[in-house]
């Protein structure tokens, strides 16, 4: 049984086709990344999984429960951290968390609430009104609210947008622990280095379609090797090296290489051509390269 099974989901808003036949399966225990540019349909897809939006067609199940026909079971298995920084201004942090627990039909469990607050560094804000919290603190409460009913599947919709380094580290430490304890994590983020560091598998959405779906390692391998960045003087780049050149708006010349052993022959060729190497940098391909290639539609 998949943690989340999405089958041919379609959703349109008047003329806009937000999701155009999305299918993917997220397995229990995975740390799954959902990436895509603004307007790709990530939040729409998450809203459909959470039952906040109804799809025009297709089905979604959470831990085997259909989010429409068996919505109560599906929702009890799911914790969602919404993208928008929303809060109820009438209540304190502790009241907010107690109520959220109750909405899931669970009895008061202050020990667990205290533990969540401790892990998210919220303990000294427990009796503070939500209005009085900073943006970062409100974000922590949103995360706490999503975890309060101990859901096996946790969806975080851009949880680190506009938050400081400290919170990011606190958050990823806690979410990483939850993942190791068996929780399935689905993450959308604009910080690709986060996705690369955390996610074992990634789906990329573009204009409502899945354009890439693979393990993070396999996606990284799609981008050939590394970049050798050189600052040259004395003579132009020899013709024999031009096929390796990657267009770059910089004073540096970038060459694509597959193995580090290729560096020495390149340097020898440059010496023979009269090029002087003033500076040299070796840059490993990262998810951003993969992302940009896929979004540009060129998988070369």
Nearer to another protein, 89 or 297 (CB): 89
Q: Which is nearer to another protein, 47 or 160 (CB)?
A: 47
Cα dist from 139 to 88, 121, 132, 149, 264, whole Å: 13, 12, 13, 18, 50
What residues have CB less than 8 Å from 18, skipping those under 6 apart?
Answer: 11, 12, 41, 44, 208
Q: How far is the CB of 94 from another protein (least distance, A)?
A: 13
Q: Least Å distance between CB 99 and another protein?
A: 5
Can you count the helices (H) and strands (E) in the chain? 10, 14
Q: CB-wise, 56 or 281, nearer to another protein? A: 56
The continuous run of DSSP H or E covering 129 comes out as: none
Q: How far apart are CA 205 and CA 3, in angstroms?
A: 19
Closest to another protein by CB, 75 vs 229, is: 75
Q: Which is nearer to another protein, 52 or 280 (CB)?
A: 52
Distance CA 108, CA 99 (A): 9
Q: To the nearest whole angstrom, how small is the minimum distance from the Cβ of residue 49 to another protein?
A: 11
CA 49 to chain centre: 16
Task: Give the shortest CB-7-to-another protein separation in angstroms.
Answer: 20
- Which residues of the chain form contacts with another protein (CB under 8 A)? 47, 50-54, 71-76, 78, 80, 82, 84, 86-91, 95, 99-107, 145, 149
For residue 231, give both structure tokens.
């600052």
CB of 250 to another protein, least distance (A): 42
Give the count of beta carbons closer than 10 Å to the beta carbon of residue 236. 11
- Give 71 or 132: the residue with its C-beta nearer to another protein: 71
The 10 Å Cβ neighbour count of residue 281 is 11
User: In the complex, what is the shortest distance from the CB of residue 71 to another protein, in angstroms, rounded to a whole number?
Assistant: 7
């Amino acid at each position: 049984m998949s943690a989340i099974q999405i089958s041919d989901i379609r959703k349109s808003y008047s003329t806009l086709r937000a999701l155009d036949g999305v299918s993917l399966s997220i397995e229990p225990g995975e740390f799954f990344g959902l990436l895509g540019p603004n307007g790709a349909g990530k939040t729409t897809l998450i809203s459909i999984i959470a039952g906040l939006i109804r799809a025009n067609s297709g089905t979604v199940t959470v831990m085997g429960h259909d989010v429409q026909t068996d919505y109560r079971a599906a929702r009890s298995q799911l914790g969602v951290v919404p993208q928008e920084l929303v809060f109820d201004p009438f209540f304190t942090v502790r009241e907010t968390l107690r109520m959220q627990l109750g909405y899931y039909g669970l009895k008061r469990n202050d020990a667990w609430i205290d533990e969540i607050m401790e892990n998210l560094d919220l303990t000294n804000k427990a009796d503070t009104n939500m209005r009085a919290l900073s943006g970062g603190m409100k974000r922590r409460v949103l995360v706490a609210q999503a975890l309060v009913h101990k859901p096996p599947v946790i969806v975080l919709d851009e949880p680190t947008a506009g938050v400081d380094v400290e919170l990011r580290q606190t958050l990823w430490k806690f979410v990483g622990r939850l993942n190791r304890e068996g929780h399935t994590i689905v993450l959308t983020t604009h910080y690709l280095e986060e996705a690369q560091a955390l996610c074992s598998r990634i789906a990329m959405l573009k204009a409502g379609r899945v354009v890439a779906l693979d393990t993070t390692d396999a996606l990284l391998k799609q981008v050939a090797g590394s970049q050798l960045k050189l600052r040259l003087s004395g003579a132009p780049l020899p013709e024999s090296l031009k096929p390796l050149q990657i267009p770059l708006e910089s004073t540096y010349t970038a060459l694509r290489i597959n193995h580090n052993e290729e560096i020495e022959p390149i340097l020898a060729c440059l010496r023979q051509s009269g090029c002087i190497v003033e500076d040299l940098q070796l840059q490993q391909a990262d998810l951003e390269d993969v992302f940009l290639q896929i979004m540009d539609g060129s998988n070369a």
